[in-house]
Amino acid sequence: MRQLLTALAMLPLSLFAQTIEECWQAAERNYPLIRQYNLIEKTTELTVANIQKGWLPQVSASAQATYQNDVASFPDQFRQLYQQMGLDMKGLKKDQYRVGIDINQTVYDGGMISSQKEMAREQGMVQAAQTEVNLYQVRKRVNEMYFSLLMLDDQIQLNNDLQELLAANEKKLTSMVKNGIAAESDLKNVKAERLNVAQQGTSLQSQKRMLQTMLSTFCGMEVKNARKPVVTETGGTNNRPEMRLFDAQLRLADAQKKVLNAALMPKFGVFAQGFYGYPGYNMFEDMVRHDWSLNGMVGARLTWNIGALYTRKNDKAKIQLQRELTENNREVFLFNNRLEQMQENEEMERYRKMMADDEEIISLRTAVRKAAESKLSHGIIDVNDLIREINQENVAKVQQSMHEIQMLKQLYESKYTSNH
In a 13 Å sphere around the CA of 194, the CA atoms on its Cβ side amount to 17
DSSP 17: B
> Which residue, among 317, 329, 314, has the nearest Cα to 248 in the 3D structure?
329
- CA–CA gap between residue 104 and residue 57 (Å, rounded): 6
Burial of 64 (0-12, 13-18, 19+ CB in 10 A): exposed
CA R_g for the chain? 42
Q: pLDDT tens digits, residue range 226-235? A: 888 876 665 6
- Helix, strand and coil content of the chain, in percent to the nearest 5, comes to 70, 10, 20
Tell me what pLDDT residue 17 has: 42
Tell me what pLDDT residue 23 has: 93
- CA–CA gap between residue 109 and residue 149 (Å, rounded): 62
Is 380 strand, coil or helix? coil
SS3 for 207-244, per residue?
HHHHHHHHHHHHHCCCECCCCCCCCCCCCCCCCCHHHH
Q: Are 52 and 259 in contact (CB under 8 A)?
A: no
Which amino acid is residue 164, in one-letter code?
E
Total-model pTM: 0.82
User: In the chain, which residues have pLDDT < 50?
Assistant: 1-17
